[in-house]
C-alpha cells in the first residue's frame, strides 16, 4: 500500500474508536514532551511510524473536541467528506491567487459564495474564503474604512480628525480588539455596547452610545448572530437602521450560527441580516468541515478592490474577474472551499438542514433535562447553547469535576457578573444518550460540591 493509503487507514481507525475514548486527556503533556525530546530530527524517521505515534499521542493527550460528549466551543468533528477535500487539496496543491492558474478551484469557491449569499437574501454576492472568522471580520473592517474614507488605502488613518470607531455588543467576539490594533486604530477605538436583559444589543442602546461619543466616527457597526458565550442574536434589523442613519458599514458576525440560514423555518430568526453590507460565516463551525474555513460575504466588490488591489509585473495580467490576490488579505492561498464543496455537494442543503434541526432539538432536550434535575437556565436562545446554574454549588468546581471525570467537557462563562455553566451541542453525533450522561455527570458533581 502507498503511504497515503496506509495513512488513510490510520485516520479511519481513529474515527471508528472516537466515541469510546474519554473526552478529556488521560496522559500528561510532560510525558509527550519527553517522547518529543527523544525524536531525532537530523536522521529522520519512518513516516508511517511517525504518523501512527503522533496520532496515538493526539488521541490520548488533550481535550477531544470531536467527541460526542464535548459540549464546549464550536469545534465539531470534521465530516469525512471535508477531510477528503483537504486530502485532495494537499495532493494537487493549487495556487488560488489568480483565476487562470486554478480555474476549477476559483469557480467552486465562487459558486459556494453565491450560494450562501442567496441564503442571506442577496441577489449578488462577492467575497472569498478565509482562514477563519477573524480574517473575515478583519476584511470587513478594512472594507468599512475604505468605504468611509476614499483616501484611506493610500494615506492611512492619521489624516482624519475624528478617530474611526467600531461599535459592537459587549458579548461580541473580542477579536475586534485585535483587529482594531492591526488596523492601526488602537483598542480604544472599539466601543462595546451593554446588552439588554436578553443579552442582545439593542438599537436604543447603540444610539445612546453614539450620541455620547463625539470623538469617534462610527465607521463599522457589528451585529452578532450567535454570541460565543450565550448564543444571543442581536436585533439585526434595528441595528441596520442605525448603521444607515450614521453612514456606517454594517457587518454581521455570524461565524457560528450563520449556518442556521440553511434551515428554511429558521431564516426568520435572522431578520435583518439581508440588510448587512457584509457577513462572516465559518464553515469549520456548524458546517463541520476541517479548520480553517471562514467566509467573507459582501455586496460591494469595489470596496474589496480599493482595500487590497496592488499591481506587480510578476503576476499574470488581470482578467475581467477580480483576482483573488487583489481582493483579499491573502496572496498565495490554499483551496479552502473544496472541503465545504464536497460536504455540501454530497449531503446537500437538505441534508445539512436535517443535522442542524437535530442539534437544535438536542439543545431543547438538554434544557428540559436540566430543569427537571433542578438546574436553572440562565440564557434565552433557540440555539443549542445552554447557560445554567445550580442553587448554591460553585459552577467552576462542578465544571472541573465533570471534565476530570472524562465523562464530558463543559465550561463556565460570566453572565451578568457571575460564572455559570455553559454547554453547547457541537457534535452532530450527540444524541439522547450523550445528553443523559452529561446530566448524570452534572448531578453527581453537584452533590460532591455541596458536601
Q: Three-class SS of residue 273?
A: helix
For residue 386, list its beta bridge partners: 423
Cis peptide upstream of residue 158 (ω within 30 degrees of 0): no
Q: How many CB atoms lie within 10 A of CB 316?
A: 11
pLDDT number for residue 331? 86
pLDDT number for residue 281? 98
Does residue 75 contact residue 286 with C-beta atoms inside 8 Å? no
pLDDT number for residue 161? 76
For 324-350, the pLDDT digits (tens) are 888 899 988 899 999 999 999 999 999
DSSP 360-386: HHHHHHHHHHHHHTT-EE----SSSEE
Nine cell digits for residue 80: 469525512
pLDDT number for residue 320? 59
Q: Three-class SS of residue 230?
A: coil
pLDDT number for residue 356? 97
Instruction: Kindly report, as residue ranges, where domains of CATH 3.90.1150.170 are found in the chain.
Output: 348-450
Rounded to 5°, angle at Cα 225 from 224 and 230 = 85
Task: Please give the chain's pLDDT, 451 residues, in tens.
Answer: 788 888 888 888 888 888 788 888 778 888 999 999 888 888 888 999 999 998 988 888 888 888 999 999 899 999 999 999 999 999 999 998 888 889 999 999 999 999 999 999 999 999 999 999 999 999 999 999 999 998 888 888 766 778 899 999 999 999 999 999 999 999 999 999 999 889 999 999 999 999 988 889 999 999 999 999 999 999 999 999 999 999 999 999 999 999 999 999 999 999 999 999 999 999 999 999 999 999 999 999 889 989 888 877 777 665 556 788 888 999 888 999 999 999 999 999 999 999 999 999 999 999 999 999 999 999 999 999 999 998 666 899 999 999 998 899 999 999 888 899 999 999 999 999 999 999 999 999 998 888 7
Does residue 255 contact residue 199 with C-beta atoms inside 8 Å? no
| CA distances in angstroms from 216 to 158, 190, 231, listed in the order given | 13, 10, 29
* Cβ partners under 8 Å of residue 262, min gap 6: 119, 349, 352, 353, 356
Nine cell digits for residue 57: 499521542
Q: Cite the beta strand spans of 182-315 per DSSP E.
A: 190-193, 216-224, 249-253, 278-282, 294-298
* Cβ partners under 8 Å of residue 14, min gap 6: 55, 59
Instruction: Kindly report, as residue ranges, where domains of CATH 3.40.640.10 are found in the chain.
Output: 95-334
pLDDT number for residue 284? 96
pLDDT number for residue 24? 84
> What does R_g of the chain's alpha carbons equal in angstroms?
23
Nine cell digits for residue 68: 460526542
**Closest by CA position to 113, among listed 96, 125, 95:** 125
Q: How many CB atoms lie within 10 A of CB 451?
A: 5
As assigned by CATH, the class of the 348-450 domain is alpha beta
Q: Three-class SS of residue 60?
A: helix
pLDDT number for residue 159? 67
Spacing of C-alpha 353 from chain mean position: 18
Dist CA 200 CA 220 (whole Å): 18
Burial 341-351 (b: 16+ CB within 10 A, else e): bbbbeebeeee
CATH architecture of the domain with residue range 95-334: 3-Layer(aba) Sandwich (3.40)
pLDDT number for residue 310? 82
Sign of the C-alpha dihedral computed for residues 175, 178, 181 and 183 taken in this order:
negative
Residue 70, phi then psi, degrees to nearest 5: -90, 115
Residue 194, phi then psi, degrees to nearest 5: -55, 135
pLDDT number for residue 318? 59
Dist CA 194 CA 439 (whole Å): 32
In the chain the first and final C-alpha atoms are separated, in Å, by 58
Site of grid cell 466601543: 191
| CA distances in angstroms from 395 to 360, 389, 404, listed in the order given | 24, 7, 14
Amino acid at each position: 500500500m502507498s503511504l497515503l493509503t496506509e495513512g488513510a487507514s490510520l485516520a479511519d481507525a481513529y474515527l471508528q474508536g472516537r466515541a469510546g475514548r474519554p473526552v478529556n486527556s488521560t496522559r500528561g503533556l510532560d510525558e509527550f514532551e519527553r517522547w518529543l525530546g527523544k525524536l531525532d530530527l537530523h536522521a529522520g524517521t519512518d513516516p508511517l511510524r511517525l504518523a501512527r505515534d503522533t496520532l496515538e499521542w493526539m488521541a490520548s493527550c488533550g481535550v477531544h473536541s470531536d467527541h460526542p460528549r464535548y459540549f464546549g466551543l464550536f469545534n465539531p468533528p470534521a465530516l469525512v467528506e471535508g477531510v477528503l477535500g483537504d486530502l485532495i487539496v494537499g495532493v494537487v496543491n493549487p495556487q488560488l491567487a489568480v483565476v487562470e492558474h486554478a480555474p476549477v478551484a476559483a469557480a467552486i469557491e465562487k459558486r459556494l459564495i453565491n450560494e450562501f449569499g442567496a441564503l442571506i437574501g442577496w441577489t449578488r454576492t462577492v467575497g472569498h474564503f478565509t482562514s477563519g472568522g477573524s480574517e473575515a471580520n478583519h476584511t470587513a473592517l478594512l472594507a468599512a474604512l475604505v468605504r468611509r474614507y476614499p483616501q484611506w488605502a493610500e494615506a492611512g488613518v492619521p489624516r482624519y480628525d475624528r478617530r474611526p470607531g467600531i461599535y459592537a455588543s459587549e458579548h461580541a467576539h473580542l477579536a475586534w480588539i485585535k483587529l482594531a490594533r492591526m488596523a492601526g486604530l488602537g483598542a480604544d477605538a472599539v466601543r462595546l455596547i451593554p446588552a439588554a436583559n436578553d443579552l442582545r444589543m439593542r438599537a436604543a442602546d447603540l444610539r445612546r452610545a453614539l450620541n455620547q461619543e463625539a470623538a469617534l466616527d462610527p465607521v463599522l457597526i457589528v451585529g452578532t448572530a450567535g454570541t460565543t458565550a450565550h448564543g444571543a442574536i442581536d436585533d439585526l434589523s434595528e441595528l441596520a437602521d442605525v448603521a444607515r442613519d450614521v453612514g456606517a458599514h454594517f457587518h454581521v458576525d455570524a461565524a457560528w450560527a450563520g449556518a442556521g440560514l440553511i434551515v428554511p423555518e429558521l431564516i426568520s430568526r435572522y431578520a435583518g441580516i439581508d440588510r448587512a453590507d457584509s457577513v462572516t460565516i465559518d464553515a469549520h463551525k456548524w458546517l463541520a468541515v476541517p479548520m480553517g474555513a471562514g467566509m467573507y460575504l459582501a455586496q460591494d466588490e469595489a470596496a474589496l478592490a480599493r482595500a487590497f488591489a496592488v499591481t506587480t509585473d510578476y503576476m499574470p495580467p488581470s482578467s475581467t474577474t477580480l483576482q483573488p490576490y487583489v481582493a483579499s488579505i491573502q496572496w498565495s492561498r490554499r483551496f479552502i472551499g473544496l472541503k465545504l464543496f464536497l460536504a455540501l455537494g454530497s449531503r446537500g442543503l437538505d441534508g445539512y438542514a436535517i443535522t442542524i434541526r437535530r442539534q437544535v432539538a438536542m439543545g431543547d432536550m438538554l434544557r428540559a433535562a436540566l430543569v427537571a434535575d433542578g438546574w436553572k437556565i440562565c440564557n434565552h436562545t433557540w440555539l443549542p447553547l445552554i447557560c445554567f446554574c445550580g442553587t448554591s454549588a460553585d459552577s467552576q468546581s462542578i465544571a472541573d469535576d465533570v471534565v476530570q471525570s472524562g465523562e464530558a467537557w463543559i465550561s463556565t462563562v460570566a453572565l451578568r457578573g457571575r460564572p455559570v455553566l455553559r454547554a453547547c451541542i457541537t457534535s452532530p453525533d450527540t444524541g439522547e444518550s450523550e445528553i443523559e450522561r452529561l446530566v448524570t455527570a452534572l448531578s453527581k458533581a453537584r452533590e460532591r460540591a455541596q458536601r
